[in-house]
Structure 1
Amino acid sequence: MLRLHLHLVSDSTGETLEMIAKAALAQFEDADVTRHFWPMVRSRQHLDRIVPDLAANPGLVLFTLVNAETRARLEEHCRQLGLPAVPALDAVTEALESQLGQEARGRPGRQHTMDEAYFKRVEAIQFTIAHDDGIGWENWEQADIVLAGVSRTSKTPTSIYLANRGFKTANIPIVVESPPPDALFRLRRPLVIGLTTAPDRLVQIRRNRLLSLHEDTETAYVDDDRVRDELKYARRMFADNGWPVIDVTRRSIEETAAAAIRLYNQRSSGEDGAGDQGIKPI
């Protein structure tokens, strides 16, 4: 198994650098990677404090540092230690400079400035948390997206992810014995999206959930026939109301959210086909 120490050095929160590293590492199998995370490195003194760890755990250094002096000092330390140092955003920044005909502004954390988009995201997160699992249905008309699905179809984590992208998202569990409020079927502004999955996969997820809670696994909640009936009931509801459907069986939370955003943007731009997805899951 390949072993690697990966040092992530950022002058801001490091969120961008972490996502780049995660996406790149996903391309490699059987890699044992130890990550060393160094956010908010904005001074020579702070940088010097992490050098002993670089020396003690030699590996690859990825960095996003816009201050020329701090960056040069890191690169010099890496040269002395014989460590490869990769500026993660240089190629993209240089390409943008070429296309835009201007130099990039070297301000740490510029992408995290508290602008209108930041406050929109905060508002979306607050709304989503307050409207999880069918709560606050009286305010669903204020949502951008409403996710509907039977238990354990990733409604809550997908909602939170969408909220972090700035979408006010509510979600509602579809339960055969307890139909959703009529307000769900009268919504005009939000895009209602149905989430579905393969019955066998759903049974497995529910069973694992019960085991983690040390609860009895011999219940209707994980009965094969009962689960299939639940999914059929939900799918019929989605089709009857013309709601688009996303099959989450082989999708990660990020992929499900991306599909939801695509459907939302299609409807917002007036493209045809979004309403027909309720018949065939994407």
Structure 2
Amino acid sequence: MDLSTTTVTWRGLTFSGVHGAPFGLSTLEGWSDLPPARRDTEPRQQAHGRFDGPVWSDERTIIITGSTYSAEERDARLLALESAAAWPSGQGSTEELVVTHGGRTLTAFARLTRFKPTFGGAWASGGFPYAIEWVAPDPLRYSPPMSVATTFPVLRGGLEYDLYTDGAGTDLGYLDYGEASDTGRIVVSNPGSAAVPILFQVEGPVDPSGFDIAQVDSDRRLRFSGPVSAGSVLVLDGATGNVLIDGSADRGGLLTYRDWPLIPPGGSIELAFIPLGVDLGARLTAVVRPGSW
């Protein structure tokens, strides 16, 4: 595998396949191939094989090996490695492992599970190899986030009637009925190879009656039956199901319809932002991280 243009970044420390990089990268396993498969099937009684069933992905394990060599900076580099490989305080959520490989930069959300520096004969002269392992409970690899935004629909008119042209398609006369209306709709796309959820951010104010986020051409919707104050942000996270205001206050009990939308691989869906009461000027932003196997 050619790693000359590959980098792996973890907690601000970058491992690189470029010759002479401070933290070298020799091998990268578990990144480009599919993660292990998991199947819950039953054997056929008195017959060959098993009953058919779906294939599910297991967690993804990523392993790198590399080395560093610098007599002057040996101890400092070892300290940097040990710091990047330390167990996090409190064992919180997964962290970003960012890999640039094959012309793409993708992110996995992982936990470090193993770090092994090898103190061999080169240690005295400043060199030592190492191996590092991560496990990503979510096996997908994500592209940088994409976002689209809208307000509630606003009817303004906005119709324009062409009267005549110059014969080449340029309008020379028309009736203009003003600024175009806002539809309150957005199209969210996923160019990746795996279906992904959507994270919604609603900036207040929102009337106490709440709002719907409806998937157009279906009966699927999210309904929030409560207010959002001016200056506050309500986040509805399709990946976790969490509903929080300003990052901490739980409002999950006010989400009375929970048809969380998924964007199919290589596809898109259209969503409508609909007020259930008075339109006070709220704004909806949909954030998508395209997912790849």
**Length-normalised TM-score, structure 2:** 0.26
Please state which structure has a larger fraction of its residues in helix.
1
Greater percentage in strand:
2
User: Of the two, which has the highest radius of gyration?
Assistant: 2
